[in-house]
A and B are shown apart, each in its own frame.
Chain A
Amino acid sequence: MSIRVGESAEAATFPKAAKKLLANTQLRRNVRRATDTIRNKRAKVVGEMPDWEQLRTAAQQIKQRTLRNLDSYLEQFEKACTAAGGKVHWARDADEANKIVVDIIRGHGQKEVIKVKTMTSDETRLNKALEAAGIAPYETDLADLIIQLGNDKPSHIVVPALHRNKSEIRQIFMDTMGLTELGHKPEDLAAAARDYLRERFLRVKVGFSGANFAIAETGSVCVVESEGNGRMCITLPDVLITMFGIEKIIPTFDDLEVFLQLLPRSATGERMNPYNSIWTGVTPGDGPKEFHVVLLDNGRTRVLADEESRETLHCIRCAACLNACPVYRQTGGHAYGSIYSGPIGAILTPQLQGMEHSTSLPYASSLCGACYEVCPVKINIPEILIHLRRKIVESGGAPMTERMGMAVAGFTLEDSGRLGAAQKLVQLGRQPLDALGLPGWSVARDLPAIPTESFREWWKNRGAR
């Protein structure tokens, strides 16, 4: 079995990639600006919810419950979806999933597919497989379109083109859409995307989507989006293929009431995103005549097996932890060498594809705890990072990585609000960071060697405490 998480298997280690990206000041400025905006918006709309903590707790418990009974919920979903006219396929890994999708499209003699943003298809590198089979995939999310037309890579799990600013986007559109003129306002860029894709939405016979939630009770699937491209892809084609990881299941329809409150406020800082689509199988006279679901494992059962880090699978991909992370905010998403970047990427990618393939990622964090604070499903990312580091150390890996982790910790210094949190590292038996006399991350890149012994000792003593 080969588990692939995007192109991560070939990617450079985090410290190497980060070092290069840190030199790109335009990119850093774009990332900083965008994450600042989203953080402020999030803080405002989360602050107005008196029951935010209660929602987080309920979400956490729903997810825990789901994972503890995932087999029966999957079967329940399959049964309900099938009864409503859907076809359910199972895929052990990325290649198997891609083959299922290619075969369905080929079976209909089609050569094009319209796609709405799907992390899982980035994970399986579906577009490559489609192209190899002579099928043209059209990304329809504005950000994905920017990535696809700009021959770029996604750097954020909600806003994949976050590292691009307005004028860069305008240039990409001018160059690739054959436009001779185009305004400078965001509205002009959105209108250009609308014109560019409209004809395809109305014409292409196969649609492809992911799912934010799949409901065991009713066999329904829910897609959360803003632009309306999701509605186009799931409504207009004759054939719809929806692929998602097996952990996307939630037990009941009413559970949506928890997640549909947490997700938009955490992801885009909105009280509600413009559109949610929920559908159950096939509805005569409305939408696709054929509906396929591809349930993807691709390493998820491996994550499930470790009780101490299982909660990684609770993730609803809101990206709040990326926006809050002092490391992500400095490096951007590309440094993680995986489509899953930021704190969630640092714990998810190594577990999905096996620790041996990404030993530097669990060190791409300063353990400041900001990710845990904002996570709407209360994933204790710092604790899982420590757990994964222990696994790496126990398996005899990572001779240098502890220091790499420390180098990363230096990023926090620039973020004065996080300084206190960074002091937690002191508890790990190290010198206080500020005592190292580091004025900012640029020096931190070449952080003086820190005795690695203390870390190990801390591990040893940890159990005794």
Chain B
Amino acid sequence: MVEESRCALSSAREEVLARVRTSIGTRAAEQEVIREYRQAGQLSEPGRINLFVDRLEDYNAGVYRCAAPDLPDTIAAALTARQKHRIIVPPGFPAEYLPPGFDFIRDQGFEYTQLDATDGALTAATAAIAMTGSIILTHSETEGRRALTLIPDYHLCIVRANQLVETVPEGIRALGARRTSPVTTIAGPSATADIEMTRVKGVHGPRTLDVIIIL
């Protein structure tokens, strides 16, 4: 039975590939794709940051800017403003960034229902794109596995100014070798356009997104 189905599968493969080859017919010599679209950005760092902030606010995300030493205080301010207390953090997130007075839980591969019982997640990011207000996670030790920034209803994400690029091509290329890790790009909180085509905030992913930009 197993043998038989394996045989059927491989013949489906051969048949589909054979059909593809027949359908393609004669092949002309390949030409390079003309890529005359914008690849590199033009803005200076402050310009990039302003654009990024503008986009995030357009998505209804909260934005904070701070210098590195003020990070713990800024995290505290963001969590307090949203009344979030029990926060899950990825295993490799630096302990020195965590302000006192909150219940930070390090992820140790908790069950989904346990993640669901937290108030939110605090993570770093791999890169960010100003033009589209996108945060890119590659789910490293400081960003956490994918479920971490998905199940809790709140995501507080930290982006360093030097991780911020201007264009989508720059963002895709910034991934480098990390591109075959799981990649999630996030542009604003979970939303839907399914009800009369208007962007409604908050469906299944985190309904609230705050971003701290370290200058």
Contacts and interface: CB of A to CB of B under 8 A. Distances in A.
B142 interface: no
A68 B24 contact: yes
Interface in A177-212: 186-187, 189-191, 193-194, 197-198, 201-202
Interface string A198-232: 10011000000000000000101000001111011
A374 to B, nearest CB: 16
A257 B24 contact: no
Contacts of B3: none
Given A254-B172, A254-B173, A166 B195 contact: yes
B197 A274 contact: no
Contact of B20 (A141, A226, A231, A301): A301
B20 A71 contact: yes
B12 A275 contact: no
Interface in B7-34: 9, 12-13, 15-17, 19-25, 27-28, 30-31, 33-34
Interface residues of A, number: 94
Contact of A65 (B33, B35, B36, B182): B33
A260 interface: yes
Contacts of A271: 55, 131-133, 187
B187 A228 contact: no
B202 interface: yes
B187 A274 contact: yes
B185 interface: yes
Contacts of B78: none
B182 A58 contact: no
B183 interface: yes
Given A186-B196, A283-B181, A295-B16, A228 B190 contact: yes
A197 B31 CA distance: 48
A287 B140 CA distance: 13
B5 interface: yes
B25 to A, nearest CB: 7
B82 interface: no
B117 to A, nearest CB: 11
Contact of A229 (B17, B34, B203, B206): B203
Contact of B169 (A189, A257, A280, A307): A257
Interface residues of B, number: 75
B180 interface: yes
Contact of A70 (B24, B131, B134, B185): B24
Interface in A71-123: 71, 74-75, 84, 89-92, 96, 100, 103
B66 interface: no
Contacts of A256: 172
B139 interface: yes
A103 B194 CA distance: 32
Contact of B183 (A50, A261, A273, A278): A278
Given A287-B146, A301-B23, A277 B181 contact: no
Contact of B190 (A50, A226, A297): A226
27 contacts: A54-B36, A61-B31, A62-B33, A90-B9, A100-B9, A186-B195, A189-B195, A189-B200, A190-B201, A190-B202, A227-B203, A236-B112, A254-B169, A256-B172, A261-B37, A268-B199, A270-B193, A270-B199, A271-B131, A274-B205, A276-B184, A276-B185, A278-B179, A286-B139, A286-B145, A287-B146, A301-B19
Given A227-B191, A304-B20, 6 more contacts: A71-B20, A190-B203, A275-B190, A278-B182, A295-B16, A301-B23
Interface of A: 30, 33-35, 37-38, 41, 50-51, 54-55, 57-58, 61-62, 65, 67-71, 74-75, 84, 89-92, 96, 100, 103, 140-143, 146, 159, 161-162, 165-166, 169, 186-187, 189-191, 193-194, 197-198, 201-202, 218, 220, 226-229, 231-232, 235-236, 246, 253-254, 256-258, 260-261, 268, 270-280, 283, 285-287, 295, 297, 301-302, 304-305, 307
